[in-house]
Structure 1
């Protein structure tokens, strides 16, 4: 496969899956502008390192790994900076019990260390399989399973036993 063909495949993949890429980055930073910045930076990184993508069948996990790493780097760089999204107003409005449970779950997920948070997001919000998560995170499948169960245990403790993903 030529570099141009590979470039066109990557470009098509990015355009066709832009909502999923935005959703993944937003799940880390909870801010529209920052999520868009992460996606944009991830696209630049992907296009610059397109030669490292040896097998096109790993395109999805390769690009997700770039997004996850870019999001984690962004969070590290901006730890002290707190940005409030427009959605923060929703917190002050009356809420239904289900919405409160969702908010508790989201807060609990946000409190997880990055290695656990990534696995929860990729497994339950992006619907990736254990092997795909291992590819994205660079860990073996057994490590991913162990971290997944540990993260679920932490979430059950934080949210309560009635919580089930």
Structure 2
């Protein structure tokens, strides 16, 4: 095993995996945990992956499986905190639309969210997304359609980030 090659690949690919993990989970800390675990699994399979040449696809698949596994385990969804914020983030920094989109994306069920992230963030084809998820292309198409409908409905709902309605 060539550890230097793994390190080079990991350094180059980590930020992309982290962004994908964040879009799936909506939590930077969880994204870091998912990416770290994915990198460990890629490292363990490195010699086989190096021969096959499917390193990034394998890493993405592992990341998706780790995220979906996390979502299936109810005990992991608890987020203890010692301080509850008493106000929203200040407006006007240009992040309102992004925050609204991320909040809406969190309302999309995990499998549909995974398909949306792969198709529209990772820019994978239907076939590539199906391969990454281990499912059929028809399932990817239907999950994409349902996910987009859910995302649109969530975006139409007023949220804490929606400042378009004036309060009296």
TM range (shorter): 0.7 to 0.9
TM-score relative to the length of structure 1: 0.74
> Could you tell me how far apart the structure 2 residues matched to 1:131 and 1:99 are?
33
Count of paired positions: 152
Note if contact 1:123-1:133 (Cα within 8 Å) is conserved in structure 2: yes
The structure with the largest helix share of the pair is 1
Note if contact 1:64-1:136 (Cα within 8 Å) is conserved in structure 2: yes
| Structure 2 unaligned spans of 5+ | 157-168
1:82 partnered with 2:64? no
Secondary structure of 1:69 counterpart: helix
TM-score relative to the length of structure 2: 0.73
> Could you tell me how far apart the structure 1 residues matched to 2:132 and 2:8 are?
20
Q: Which residue of 2 aligns with 1:163?
A: none
Note if contact 1:122-1:128 (Cα within 8 Å) is conserved in structure 2: yes
Would the alpha carbon gap of residues 140 and 9 (structure 1) be closer, same or farther in structure 2, given more than 3 Å must change?
Answer: farther
> Max radius of gyration: which structure?
2
RMSD: 2.9
Aligned 1:29-108 pairs, distance under 5 A: 29-50=25-46, 53=49, 55-56=52-53, 58-77=54-73, 78-82=75-79, 92-96=88-92, 99-108=95-104
User: Which one of 4, 7, 17 corresponds to residue 13 of structure 2?
Assistant: 17
| Structure 1 unaligned spans of 5+ | 161-165
Would the alpha carbon gap of residues 137 and 9 (structure 1) be closer, same or farther in structure 2, given more than 3 Å must change?
Answer: farther
